[in-house]
A = this chain, B = another copy of it.
Amino acid sequence: MKIAFLGPQASFTQLATTQLFPDEELLPQANILDCFTAVENGEVDKAVVPLENSIEGTVSMTLDYLYKTPSIKIEAEAVMPIAHHLMIHSENRIEDIKQIYSHPQALAQSFHFLDTQYKTVQRQDFSSTAAAAKHVSENPELKIAAVANQYAASLYGLKIINRNIQDFEQNHTRFIVISKQQNFYTNDSLEILGKKSGLLITLPEDHAGGLHQVLSVFAWRKMNLSKIESRTLKTGLGNYFFFITIVGKWHPVLYENALEELKSIHAEVDFLGNYQEFLLES
């Protein structure tokens, strides 16, 4: 199988994709749109893209493309704790390092550590954590370090000086596996966190209490929501769609009735699938 993912090489999304699809052909894409396009055109079987909290792509793009391409569904969700490491070229010593390169968000997430341990070392923004690691590996004479993930350190043969330098222990990134077939993805070697269902709901107009009405449909059925996010439609400033995930596994009739009820209040519903949530290693 061919699996597209949001690149570059050694991105956090690749780290997720190698765990979700260890034996498949992985094809890095330049951006989230390219991942969706590759799936839609049948160039790949599936793609892995960030859904929440990523430093590599504007995650709102994922929701927008899910909305724009109704043929694409969700097969799985996966959560990975964020772990940033400080790494250098193996020929260098940490005492000689003059600059620390990384994605601005990764530098921000490691702010307290870097400010305490390497206060006098200048920080330099780079387009991604993976590109920063590559730059360090190719330029030993520059005496620079990178903040990146474990996979980047292995791929580019860098020496990790400090592990887990991120400020919040429990910060994480969330990914989804998308496809047109909507097969039920599972993987015995990964821990399953639970079952979920994803829906995109569009309201006919931005009317008071409309969202409340939508949520009532799930609330009185005791179907718990774990995520809700409103996104503006591109047609204007005041129109919204909502991405909702329901936790747990429910009787199919309950879904059918809920969807019927949503139609009766003139909400458009795109059912993205029932799927499992997996825990990944960082």
B170–A234 CB distance below 8 A: yes
Q: Say yes or no: B226 contacts A206, CB within 8 Å.
A: yes
B226 touches A238 (CB 8 A): yes
A123-B30 in contact (CB<8A): yes
A18 at the interface (CB under 8 A from B): no
Asked, given contacts A59-B58, A127-B126, A227-B230, whether A236 binds B104 with beta carbons under 8 Å apart, the answer is no
Nearest-neighbor residue (CB-CB) of A217 within chain B? B212
Which residues of the other chain, B, contact A234 by a CB distance below 8 angstroms? Answer: 168-171
B170 engages A236 (CB within 8 Å): yes
Which A27-53 residues sit within 8 Å CB-CB of chain B? 30-34, 52-53
When the two chains form their complex, are residues B107 and A30 in contact, meaning their CB atoms are under 8 A apart? yes
From 73 to 98 in chain A, residues with beta carbon under 8 angstroms from any chain B beta carbon are 79
Interface size, chain A (Cβ < 8 Å): 59
What is the minimal beta-carbon distance from A80 to any residue of chain B, in angstroms? 11
CB of A149 to closest CB in B, whole Å: 16
- CA–CA, A126 and B131, complex, Å: 11
Taking the closest CB of chain B, its distance from the CB of A269, in whole angstroms, is 17
A211 within 8 A of B: yes
Q: Which residues of B contact A238 (CB under 8 A)?
A: 226
Query: Nearest-CB distance from A209 to chain B (Å)?
Result: 4
Main secondary structure of the interface of A (DSSP, over half): mixed
A151 within 8 A of B: no
CB of A254 within 8 A of chain B? no
Task: List, in ascending order, chain B residues with CB within 8 A of A34's CB.
Answer: 108
- For A55, A170, A235, the residue with the greatest tally of chain B CB atoms inside 10 Å of its CB is A170
Give residues 181-237 of A contacting B (CB, 8 Å): 193, 206-209, 211-213, 215-216, 218-220, 222-230, 232, 234-237
Asked if residues A212 and B209 are in contact (CB atoms below 8 Å), the reply is no
A229 to chain B, nearest CB (A): 5
Report whether B61 and A108 are in contact in the complex, using a CB–CB cutoff of 8 Å. yes
What B residues does A236 contact at CB under 8 A? 170
Complex contact A172–B58 (CB within 8 A)? no
Complexed CA–CA distance, A59 and B57 (Å): 11
A240 contacts B by Cβ under 8 Å: yes
Some 11 contacts from A to B, beta carbons below 8 A apart, are: A34-B108, A53-B232, A55-B58, A58-B59, A169-B234, A208-B223, A209-B219, A209-B220, A209-B224, A211-B225, A229-B230
Q: Please give the residue numbers on chain A whose beta carbons come within 8 Å of chain B beta carbons, in ascending order.
A: 30-34, 52-55, 57-61, 79, 104-105, 107-108, 111, 123, 125-127, 168-172, 193, 206-209, 211-213, 215-216, 218-220, 222-230, 232, 234-238, 240, 242
